């Protein structure tokens, strides 16, 4: 039993969900009140927007990978674990405990984010909103109303490219010291593309961690954000194993 690895996956996933979803809930858009002469005169909407949220997700992966890569491989994502398994770079015996640790980390982050968000009276979760608590969704819960097929294929392709990048930068042809940067920048790009479509999952633990607290239809839509990312990850692992196997080190991949 590799307890240190499981703890690292728990904390790393907690950090990813807190940093990424937290930036979306707290900082993406907020209202500033301009005060003049002791009275509020104007409310201004400001915040980091889509670009800021995309960068935040990338930075959480970069920092988490540097912090925990040498302990657990810094998966922080069931789709990554499945993809590395399909590429024969991660043992199947570790899949379930890694995924449990990741999901628990995501849920802990969702709970902590909810606690922070309730620190202001203006915050409230409305399950009928498109993406309460930075949840992922399709149809009415897609930020721009994309249909289920578009959202599904987007999640598959985005996760596929994410895993291809992870497998590529952790091969022996690339200096592993730069791997977290390549992975983080790729996740940033993925968010820039797909936030308007699904609010970007590519990570079942990230989706589950916040959906459980949003409830209702958001939980009912979680099936997509497990199935599509894992499918994309497995396809990437199979592709990489057959096309670029000669680049890989014989040992398990470490980010």
- Concatenate the DSSP letters of all residues of 80-119 into one string: HHHHHHHTTSS-GGGHHHHHHHHHHHHHHHHHHHHHHHTT
Tokens of 139: 């149809």
Residue 133 lies in a domain: yes
Q: Which of 18, 20, 86 is nearest to 59 (CA)?
A: 20
Residue 51 counted as domain residue: yes
Q: What is the largest CA-CA distance in the chain?
A: 70
Spatial contact of 23 and 188, defined as CB atoms under 8 Å apart: no
Determine, yes or no, domain membership for 185: yes
- Above 50 in pLDDT, residue 124? yes
Identify whether 135 is part of a domain: yes
Judged by average pLDDT, the poorest of 30-34, 179-183, 221-225, 230-234 is 30-34
Q: Is position 252 within any domain?
A: no
Q: Which domain holds residue 198?
A: 3-247
**Does the pLDDT value for residue 218 go beyond 50?**
yes
Read off the pLDDT of residues 40-70 as tens digits, 9 standing for 90 and up: 454 444 578 899 999 999 999 999 999 999 9
Cα distance between residue 164 and residue 180, in whole Å: 14
Does the residue 136 lie in any domain?
Answer: yes
Q: Residue 120 pLDDT > 50, yes or no?
A: yes
Q: What is the mean pLDDT of residues 100-112?
A: 98
Torsional class of 245: left (φ above 0), alpha (ψ -120 to 50), beta (otherwise):
alpha
Q: What is the percent of the chain where pLDDT is above 90?
A: 72
Looking up residue 174, the CATH number of its domain turns out to be 1.20.1080.10
Dist CA 159 CA 44 (whole Å): 36
Structure pTM? 0.89
Alpha helices per DSSP H over the chain = 3-22, 49-72, 78-86, 95-117, 148-169, 179-198, 204-214, 217-220, 222-243
Q: Does 189 reside within a domain?
A: yes
User: Which of 5-14, 124-133, 167-176: highest mean pLDDT?
Assistant: 5-14
Residue 254 falls inside a structural domain: no
* Of the ranges 110-119, 126-135, 147-156, the best mean pLDDT one: 147-156
pLDDT band at 235 (very low <50, low <70, confident <90, very high): very high
Q: Is the pLDDT of residue 1 over 90?
A: no
Number of domains the chain is built from: 1
Distance of alpha carbon 233 from alpha carbon 131, whole angstroms: 24
């Amino acid at each position: 039993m590799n307890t240190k690895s499981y703890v690292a996956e728990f904390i790393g996933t907690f950090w990813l969900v807190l940093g990424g979803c937290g930036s979306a809930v707290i900082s993406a858009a907020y209202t500033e009140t301009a005060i003049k002469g002791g009275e509020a005169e104007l409310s201004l909407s400001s915040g980091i927007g889509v670009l800021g949220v995309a960068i935040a997700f990338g930075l959480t992966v970069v920092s988490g990978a540097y912090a925990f890569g040498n302990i657990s491989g810094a998966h922080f994502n069931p789709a990554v674990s499945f993809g590395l398994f399909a590429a024969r770079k991660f043992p199947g015996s570790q899949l379930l405990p890694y995924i449990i640790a990741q999901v628990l980390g995501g849920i802990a982050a969702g709970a902590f984010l909810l606690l922070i968000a309730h620190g202001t009276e203006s915050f409230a979760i409305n399950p009928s909103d498109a993406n309460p608590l930075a949840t992922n969704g399709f149809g009415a819960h897609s930020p721009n109303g994309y249909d289920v097929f578009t959202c599904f294929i987007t999640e598959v392709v985005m996760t596929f490219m994410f895993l291809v990048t992870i497998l590529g930068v952790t091969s022996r042809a690339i200096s592993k010291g730069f791997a977290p940067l390549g992975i983080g920048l790729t996740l940033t790009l993925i968010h820039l593309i797909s936030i308007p479509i699904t609010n970007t999952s590519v990570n079942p633990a990230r989706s589950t961690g916040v959906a459980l607290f949003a409830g209702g239809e958001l939980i009912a839509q979680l099936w997509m954000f497990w199935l599509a990312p894992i499918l994309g990850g497995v396809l990437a692992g199979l592709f990489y194993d057959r096309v670029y196997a000669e680049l890989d080190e014989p040992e398990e991949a470490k980010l």
